[in-house]
Amino acid sequence: MKGKLLLFVAMALTAMILLAACGSDNSTENGKGSTGGDNTFKVGLEAGYPPFNWTQMDGSNDAVKIEGQAEYAGGYDVEIAKKIADGLGKELVIVKTEWDGLVPALTSGKIDAIIAGMSPTAERKKTIDFTDNYYKSDLVMVVKKGGKYENATSIQDFKGAKISAQLNTFHYSVIDQIEGVQKQPAMDNFTAMRVALESGVIDGYVSERPEAVSASAANENYAMVEFTEGFQTSDDDTAIAVGVEKGSELTDKINEILAGISEEEQTQIMDRAILNQPAAK
């Protein structure tokens, strides 16, 4: 009798250990996001770069609620993220993250992908992988409407001008191509640059065409300058792609989904984003 009791206890303990091990494995997988079983697709973006992404107070125009916040996120990136999440069969979760925190959030497993108007530059490729492009644009300058630089046609027309761009972007590095420019400190976000431009702290900031169209359409004080003699950039610099972890199984899956979005549809999505954006500040 005693032997049978000891055998029963031993079997019970073995079962408990196995259950604990299984529970530990599931917890670890869920934490990884991309390979976990929680059925969510967590996307990081700054929600402050219209028309690619922005923050709004309600769910109008099919905006997506931001995780842990009362606000919603909208924009071109959000629409692309929806299509990818649908294609993956997962629920989209938007994680609002400062620009400088996006790559660390990805590599630490807090998010599954970066869909934030991010270019697949050679420097970033050292740390993370990128999918195929989901948009491509040119560099332009945003200036004050009616100002001395509104009719510029070459980047060299900005000699002596006070020019800035967003921190930790290639936009900031290309300012050095302007001879005699007064390169100003880089700024954290586009809202800060627009305020600096309107107040006269800077004469212009480097941007991609969709953001510049967005800014000038939403605020009559801004104008977009396109160049006949513009900045020298690589194809990767002006492309936009999804950032994923090194060696992620998501890369091929996302590429299959992106292949189903034609250039015509991309343009339509961007046009809607520009139309739906909140007023520029």
The pLDDT, as a whole number, for residue 214 is 87
Bridge partners of 53, per DSSP, are 49
> Where exactly are the structural domains of the chain?
38-136+237-276, 139-235
The residue ranking higher by pLDDT, 31 or 156, is 156
The pTM for the full model equals 0.75
Q: Which pLDDT tens digit goes with each residue over 189-211?
A: 999 999 999 999 999 999 999 99
| Ranges 18-22, 29-33, 134-138, 187-191: which has the least confidence | 29-33
Show Cβ contacts of residue 251 under 8 Å, excluding neighbours closer than 6 positions: 129, 131, 244
List phi, psi (to 5°) of 220.
-70, -10
Mean pLDDT of 165-180: 96
Q: Which residues contact 112 (CB under 8 A, 6 or more apart)?
A: 33, 34, 40, 41, 42, 43, 106, 244, 250
Question: Do the first three CATH levels of 38-136+237-276 and 139-235 match, i.e. the same topology?
Answer: yes
pLDDT in tens, 197-256: 999 999 999 999 999 998 998 889 999 999 999 999 998 888 999 999 999 999 999 999
- pLDDT score for 280: 53
pLDDT at 34 over 80: no
User: How far apart are alpha carbons 17 and 25 in whole angstroms?
Assistant: 12
H/E element holding 133? strand 129-136
Q: What are phi and psi of 230, to 5 degrees?
A: -105, -165
Q: Whose CA is closest to 112, among 125, 95, 126, 98?
A: 95
> What is the model's pLDDT at position 253?
98
Mention every residue, 6+ apart, whose C-beta is less than 8 A from residue 86: none
For the segment(s) 139-235, the CATH number from 3.40.50.40, 3.90.420.10, 3.30.365.10, 3.40.190.10 is 3.40.190.10
Helices 76-88 and 263-276: angle between axes, nearest 10 degrees: 130
At residue 37, the pLDDT reads 55
Q: What is the average pLDDT value for the chain, to the nearest integer? A: 88
Radius of gyration of the chain, Cα coordinates, nearest whole angstrom: 23
Q: Whole-angstrom Cα distance, residue 134 to residue 239?
A: 8
Distance, CA of 48 to CA of 29 (rounded, Å): 31
Domain 38-136+237-276, architecture per CATH? 3-Layer(aba) Sandwich (3.40)
pLDDT at 12 over 60: no
